[in-house]
Amino acid sequence: MTIEPEAAPGETPGDLIAELRFPARPARLKQVRALVRRSAAACGCNESWVHDLVVAVDEACQNIIRHAYNGRRGDIVLTILRDGKALVVRLVDFAPPVDVTRIRPRPLDELRPGGLGTHFIHELMDEVTFLPPPPGAGNLLQMTKRLEPS
Amino acid sequence: MTIDVRTEHGIAVVSLKGDIDLQYSPKLRKKLLELLGERRNLLVDLAHVRYIDSSGVASLVEAFQLARKHGTRFGLVGVSTAAMRVLQLARLDRVFSIFPALDDVFGAEGWAS
């Protein structure tokens, strides 16, 4: 199955920088981080900007692996686009649709081990939105971060 | 990720190297809880950590909480730029005892043996 970057109706897809379809497994995240790092660095952004983007994408992939697929097998399609002065990252999965209203960062004044990933994503990205997924997919998460060339 | 454990001045020093992510954080969690089970003061050296995610940070939080429960010491040393960024995002840089270098720990109150 081919996922087109212009999957979400009404959205400007921008220029395709990279696309990767990979099994939703923890062992694949290193490869994903490397691709995101290379793609962001190619846009001329500084090291800390690139690191922040890598963290956000990695955490979003983790959420798909842990919560959307929740032990089931499946793929994730990562698309990185450049839309003017922003980098747009889309993650499509084929898991059952998630209840978006239940995904929110937890208060940081509670000292407990879990639940930090969603906070990181919202802290590091300028926009985080679930869009209507393409036919046959479960969820489409779009994250946007304004470029800050070094 | 590699985990190296040694003892200095009676403190268990856990040196981590590489990426601490969803694949490897369970291994880190197990090692930290095992060492804390021996009621030892524990330091985690993050100088050579290139990347740490929320699951790695969660392992550190769990270890911190267990140390507190046991009345033993838990601290971080030589935190890399990448690791510090993530700790700051989680507001944990204000929670953990963080030392620039091992020598700073040995002179600190409550740590020297």
Cα A42 to chain center, whole Å? 18
Q: How far is CA B59 from the centre of its chain?
A: 9
How many domains, chain B? 1
pLDDT, position A6? 45
Name the residue among A134, A124, A126, A46 with its Cα closest to residue A84: A126
For residue A28, is pLDDT > 50?
yes
A29 CB neighbours in chain B (<8 A) are: 21-23
CATH number, residue B22: 3.30.750.24
The question of ipTM being above 0.90 is answered as yes
Q: A27 φ, ψ to 5°? A: -65, -15
Question: Looking at the domain assignment, is residue B27 inside a domain?
Answer: yes
Q: Report the alpha-carbon distance of residue B4 to residue B12 in Å, rounded.
A: 10
Residue B74's DSSP bridge partners are B42
Measure the CA angle with vertex B45, ends B41 and B51; round to 5°. 135
Q: Using CB atoms, pick whichever of B21, B85, B89 lies closest to residue A58.
A: B21
Residue of A50, A110, A111 to mutate, testing the B interface (most B Cβ within 10 Å of its Cβ): A111
Looking at the domain assignment, is residue B112 inside a domain?
Answer: no
Task: Give the model's confidence band at A11: pLDDT under 50 very low, under 70 low, under 90 confident, else very high.
Answer: low
Q: d(Cα A61, Cα B54) in Å, to the nearest integer?
A: 12
What confidence score (pLDDT) does residue A1 get? 41
Q: Distance (Å, rounded) from C-alpha B90 to C-alpha A117?
A: 9
List chain A residues with CB under 8 Å of B1.
Answer: none
Taking residues A97-119, what's their average pLDDT? Answer: 79
How far, in Å, CA of B79 to CA of B48, rounded?
A: 8
Which residue range(s) make up the domain with B90?
2-106
Q: Are A131 and A45 in contact (CB under 8 A)?
A: no
Band (pLDDT 50/70/90 cuts) for residue A5 is very low
Mean predicted confidence (pLDDT) in B36-41: 93
For chain A, what are the domain ranges?
12-146
- Chain A with chain B: Cβ pairs closer than 8 A: 62
- Collect all residues from A whose CB is shorter than 8 A from any CB in B: 26-27, 29-30, 33, 48, 51-52, 54-55, 58-59, 62, 65-66, 108, 111-114, 116-117, 119-120, 123-124
Superfamily of segment(s) A12-146: Histidine kinase-like ATPase, C-terminal domain (3.30.565.10)
- pLDDT recorded at residue B113: 56
